[in-house]
Structure 1
């Protein structure tokens, strides 16, 4: 998975719009859809911008860059030179497709590590910072099982359940993605410096916050929104009644993602948040296999990889066709993404895509992207 090369002028345009005070992500997306790349947006007269959005948005878009912008631009240029560091924009094919289903995806993402994991099938494992020993053990065990089944585990790099989930997932091929509430050049909490280094090497760290942004409590609900947007489901391991994990679960539910919760003792404070979510419709689960079944992913059997261990393909599909359909997942993907996920050569891949299209299993979208047909679960 490679990002599109970006000239300095293009980077300047994206950073200017992303940092424009008063320009909301949803309004920015509207402007980009109407006029194209940032340079084109910034080149529009006030009246054109106001006609598409409103006068306040037009003023925010055309306002002079904030003090220190040039210095920040130099900082980002230098950071991008670092190994495995990337800035993803809404216009980049490497931008996570799951986030594009949100009404207000972040215009920029700063990523350290394996960008392809942002396109992988994934589940969030979240919970209390003050986790019990049993809770951290459960989080690590579930995350390891998900990762062994080829599913990427997403969490927030916090103490407690998050840290245990990341560590468990690092043990398997699905690996892990940490979504942080700070700049990509900072680690919070400090106790997770070594863990963050491991994740950057074998998984990925992603944030929408500019470089140098310190941890602030107000950032974490927004971080939780990004976690919910990236994944196909959320598992809550332990959570108090007032908990950031419950915010993540609520946001995930609003986005149409699955929500799972581990039950516990009625006397345990950290079970109450989970029980509340179960009362509100979260699926009660006791084993990783139950979650994998709900997600339509097979656990690893007898050392086989997930694609080999899957049940007999439905609808009479050939195994290779079913494997390609599984690789497509439930978000639109490009030919390049599917080639990376399946290791199929271009000729075989295009032939199989055509067969699936003719059989009514997938739809070709504008921009050379492919999506499951509406009747596909």
Structure 2
């Protein structure tokens, strides 16, 4: 068996324990030597952690490589190891890269230029809009989008990328055959078809709480920068930001309403020195790169509007505005406001949100 198979073996029996695995590699000289090492010698490395040593040795003694590879093949998945040329270079550079990754789809060289968009699972319509539009604008600039396929901001970031036919990578906190949340099955299939869904957890691994902080270090490790969009003061997104700082990545944050609890996380990061993000250009500037493809301008100069449309458009901002409020402030009949909103949507200037609310469609590219 070649070296890469031993990377796979250790990843399966010791998931999310990369530091421990690399310690074994360093002590024995290779992962192959560690795999073949006497039980007594392995136990000595664990010291007083007898239970941990016993669990690892049991897994090693009962491991069936043929069965594990067949399980991956059955769901159309594969694995890449630290020894492979297509192992993500950004991830290879962190302190504790996983010896192997389980993959559906493909990771390519283009994904070296990646940005993570992360945030709350209970995002507001503002946050969802920002995540989607940022994603679209970055994709048009040749950036791959990384996130965790969770509800809220993560899903919006992936969907924005897919809508612009870009590359996106979803990092799971479970095995590839355990879809979480369940309603994201179709989203996962779309991501795998045009990008990649990855995990360091073996098949059948459930989405246990401790998996997600470990997953977050992979999200930041794959990325050149982490952008936080809506997060509470104690949030997984802030854990991702902490990992990013440890890994030498840029940390950025999108500001929000001072009255929203979900603004506390981003505002805390901004106070601590994170780059304030208003548009995709802010992210590109911080990374020190120029756009690979022109980012669509958000100016309205070339878009013809009639008088009613101009009136209605002037009342809509980044923050969602309810239809009734637009009617009240415009002094126009409701039917005219409705017609104007419809044409503004067709002109890709305004988007309708749940609850009869409307917001600017092109805020992010401004």
- The TM-score normalised by the length of structure 2 is 0.71
Q: 1:176 & 1:132 partners in 2: Cα distance?
A: 22
1:28 corresponds, among 21, 33, 45, to: 21
Deviations 1:282-327 (A, max 9, x none): 11111111111211232355589xxxxxxxxxxxxxxxxxxxxxxx
**1:88–1:111 contact (8 Å) kept in structure 2:** yes
Deviations 1:143-196 (A, max 9, x none): 111111111100000111100000111234541000010101121001111100
Q: 1:67 & 1:298 partners in 2: Cα distance?
A: 49
Deviations 1:17-70 (A, max 9, x none): 33556994223214335655533323345787689x665799949964339944
Q: 2:81 & 2:265 partners in 1: Cα distance?
A: 36
Q: 2:228 & 2:180 partners in 1: Cα distance?
A: 21
Cα 1:141–1:68 change in 2 (3 A) is: farther
Q: 1:151 & 1:296 partners in 2: Cα distance?
A: 13
What is the deviation of 1:115?
Answer: 2.0
Does residue 90 of structure 1 match 2:100? no
Taking only aligned residues, the RMSD between alpha carbons, in angstroms, comes to: 3.2
Cα 1:244–1:303 change in 2 (3 A) is: closer
SS in 2 for 1:65: helix
2:72 match: 80
Q: 1:210 & 1:301 partners in 2: Cα distance?
A: 38
Deviations 1:313-344 (A, max 9, x none): xxxxxxxxxxxxxxxxxxxxxxxxxxxxxxxx
Q: 1:23 & 1:110 partners in 2: Cα distance?
A: 12
Q: Which runs of 5+ in 1 are unaligned?
A: 1-5, 305-377
**2:136–2:164 contact (8 Å) kept in structure 1:** yes
1:140 corresponds, among 126, 132, 150, to: 132
Cα 1:107–1:148 change in 2 (3 A) is: same
1:165 match: 157
**2:15–2:201 contact (8 Å) kept in structure 1:** no
Deviations 1:115-140 (A, max 9, x none): 21685211100011111111111101
1:156 corresponds, among 141, 148, 168, to: 148
1:211 match: 203
What is the deviation of 1:237?
Answer: 1.1
Identify the structure with bigger relative contact order (alpha carbons < 8 Å, sequence gap 6+). 2
Q: 1:149 & 1:25 partners in 2: Cα distance?
A: 33
Q: 2:282 & 2:39 partners in 1: Cα distance?
A: 54
SS in 2 for 1:206: strand
Q: 1:112 & 1:218 partners in 2: Cα distance?
A: 23
Q: 1:120 & 1:23 partners in 2: Cα distance?
A: 22
**1:292–1:299 contact (8 Å) kept in structure 2:** yes
| Greater displacement, 28-37 / 277-286 | 28-37
SS in 1 for 2:108: helix
Cα 1:250–1:39 change in 2 (3 A) is: closer
Q: 1:48 & 1:119 partners in 2: Cα distance?
A: 40
Q: Which runs of 5+ in 2 are unaligned?
A: 297-366
**2:112–2:223 contact (8 Å) kept in structure 1:** no
Q: 2:55 & 2:130 partners in 1: Cα distance?
A: 51
Q: 2:61 & 2:39 partners in 1: Cα distance?
A: 25
Q: 1:23 & 1:147 partners in 2: Cα distance?
A: 30
Give the alignment of 1:183-222 within 5 angstroms: 183-222=175-214
